[in-house]
Amino acid sequence: ALFIAESWSQPLAGGGFQVLGDPAHKLPNPVLYRLSEVLACWRQVVAPVLWVMSEFPSRGASFALKPAYERRLHAIRSLERATVTGAGHMMHHDQPAAVAALIRTFLLK
């Protein structure tokens, strides 16, 4: 947590800290999301894909439990799934060695 706090903020002259983030990052995308277009693109992916999920996804990740989510993943030809145990949404911070090992093993295949 300290690493993230120090990396993602800057001290203010009057005390306290300010997050180094772009406020526009939270704005909705101006481009309409069309699932049919997404699936058509994903079907064209020919490279192997590593899909990594955390054991404890965030509240917003309830999509992962829905059949529509599986439909999306089935559009990818060569998909390998992995789960990082003992990790939440920020799995690369929660379990960096485990995430690195998964990626390394995948890339060495």
Can you say how many angstroms the Cα of residue 108 is from the centroid of all Cα atoms in its chain? 21
Given pLDDT bands bounded at 50, 70 and 90, which one contains residue 70? Answer: confident
> How large a percentage of the chain has pLDDT more than 90?
48
- What pLDDT was estimated at residue 80? 97
Q: Which residue ranges make up each domain of the chain?
A: 28-107
Query: CA angle at residue 94 from 92 to 100, to 5 degrees?
Result: 40
Supply the DSSP string of 79-104, one letter for each residue: EEEEEETT--TTHHHHSHHHHHHHHH
Given pLDDT bands bounded at 50, 70 and 90, which one contains residue 60? Answer: low
- What pLDDT was estimated at residue 97? 97
- Cβ atoms of 6 and 17 within 8 Å: the answer is no
Average pLDDT in the 1-13 region?
A: 84
SS3 22: coil
* 13-48 tens-digit pLDDT: 998 888 888 777 777 777 778 889 999 999 999 999
- What pLDDT was estimated at residue 34? 87
CA distance 8 to 19: 6
* 28-107 classified as CATH 3.40.50.1820: yes
The H or E element spanning position 74 is helix 67-74
Q: Would the pLDDT of 62 be above 70?
A: no
Q: What is the pairing mode between strands 79-84 and 49-54? A: parallel
pTM equals 0.70
